[in-house]
């Protein structure tokens, strides 16, 4: 993934305003976001997977912001981390980027 493509996808990701979609449930958010992220992973990650790590971590950080805005109790790092680890254990295939990057 070139630096220009990384910047373009980062801008596109920012324009999606994931953290502002607090009316949607987690499953709805995953259903909407997964085809987009999986397409990026298939296209850009075909030859040089590790170059996509910053972009996929950025997706997860927006999901962290979404959770903090939707659920007030998840605003603290300690509670969010416990919830995130439990979520990955309960539903390991919920988000497409979790196949490659699971940190937030």
What's the confidence (pLDDT) of residue 48? 87
Contacts of 62 (CB under 8 A, 6+ apart): 13, 16, 18, 19
Domain ranges of the chain: 3-99
Express each pLDDT in 20-49 by its tens digit. Answer: 999 999 999 999 999 999 999 999 988 888
Give the helix/strand (H/E) hosting 10.
helix 3-16
For residues 53 and 101, the answer to whether their CB atoms sit within 8 Å is: yes
pLDDT > 70 fraction of the chain, expressed in percent and rounded: 100
Q: What is the pLDDT of residues 68-90, one digit of tens each?
A: 999 999 999 999 999 999 999 99
């Amino acid at each position: 993934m070139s630096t220009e493509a990384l910047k373009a996808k980062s801008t596109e990701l920012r324009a999606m305003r994931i953290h502002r979609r607090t009316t949607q449930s987690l499953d709805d958010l995953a259903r909407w976001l997964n085809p987009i992220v999986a397409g990026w992973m298939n296209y850009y990650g075909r030859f040089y997977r590790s170059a996509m790590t910053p972009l996929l971590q950025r997706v997860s950080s927006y999901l962290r912001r979404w959770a903090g805005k939707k659920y007030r109790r998840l605003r603290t790092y300690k509670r969010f981390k416990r919830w995130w680890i439990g979520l990955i254990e309960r539903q390991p295939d919920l988000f497409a980027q979790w196949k490659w990057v699971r940190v937030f």
